[in-house]
Amino acid sequence: MYWIILIAGVALWWAAHLFKRVAPARRASMGDPGKGAVALAIAAAIVLMIIGYRGVEFIPVWQPPAFMVHVNNLAMLIAIYLLSPAPKRGKLVSGMRHPMLTGFSIWAAAHLLVNGDLASILMFGGLLVWAVLTARIINSAEPGWQRGPEGTLAKDAMFLAGSVVLLGLIGMVHNWLGVWPFPG
C-alpha cells in the first residue's frame, strides 16, 4: 500500500507542476483560485511522498560508499544556494536560466548518491526526471529567454552564509526524523 502512496505522491507532484505547461488554457481559466488548487495539490503530493517513503519496506539496490556523504553535503549546499534568491540578486550565477530547477535537480541527485534503496530511487529519481524535463519544456516553449540584471558579490556572500545556516537546520530536521546527514 505504501508503494502506491509513494508513487501517487510523485505522480501528483508531476501533474500539479506540469498542469500549467500541458493545459495552459485550462489553468488560465481557473484564474487566481487555480494557484491555491495547484499549491494544495503540491502540498498533498509532498505529504503522500513522505508517508509512502517512510512506510515502505527497505529494499537495497546498491550500497553507497561512505564518502558520498561528503559529496552529498557539498551538493546540498550548492542546491540550497541555487534555490535561494542568489541567482536573481547575486553575481555568481546571475546568467543561469533555471537556477531553482537546477538546484532541485542537484538536491534530488545528491539524495540518490547516499540512498541506494528502491524507494529513494523511485522518489528522488522521479523528482530528478521531473526537474530536467520541466527545464526542457520551458526552454522549448520560451526560447527567447534574456539574461536578467547582474547582482553583487556581497549578495552572493550573504546568500551563501544563509545557505550554510539553512543546511545546518535541514540537518537538524533530518536528525529529528532519525537520519543524521553529517559525518562524524
Question: Is residue 96 located within the same domain as residue 182?
Answer: yes
- Copy the grid coordinates of residue 159: 546568500
Question: Is residue 93 located within the same domain as residue 176?
Answer: yes
C-alpha 74: how far from chain center:
15
pLDDT tier, 86 (very low <50, low <70, confident <90, very high otherwise): confident
User: Which amino acid, one-letter code, is at 166?
Assistant: L
Question: Is residue 82 located within the same domain as residue 40?
Answer: no
What SS3 class is residue 144? coil
Question: Is residue 1 located within the same domain as residue 19?
Answer: yes
Residues in the chain: 184
Question: Is residue 125 located within the same domain as residue 52?
Answer: no
Residues spanned by the domain of 162: 60-184
Residue 25 has pLDDT above 80, yes or no: yes
Segment 48-68 shows an average pLDDT of: 95
Which among 57, 73, 93 is the end of a domain? 57
Question: Is residue 28 located within the same domain as residue 50?
Answer: yes
CB-based contacts of 96: which residues, under 8 Å, 6+ apart? 82, 87, 102
Write out pLDDT tens, residues 142-176. Answer: 888 888 778 888 888 999 999 999 999 999 998 88
Question: Is residue 86 located within the same domain as residue 152?
Answer: yes
pLDDT at position 40 is: 96
Query: Whole-model pTM?
Result: 0.90
Question: Is residue 103 located within the same domain as residue 177?
Answer: yes
pLDDT at position 184 is: 67
Question: Is residue 103 located within the same domain as residue 158?
Answer: yes
Question: Is residue 88 located within the same domain as residue 173?
Answer: yes
Total number of domains constituting the chain: 2
Question: Is residue 184 located within the same domain as residue 137?
Answer: yes
Question: Is residue 95 located within the same domain as residue 173?
Answer: yes
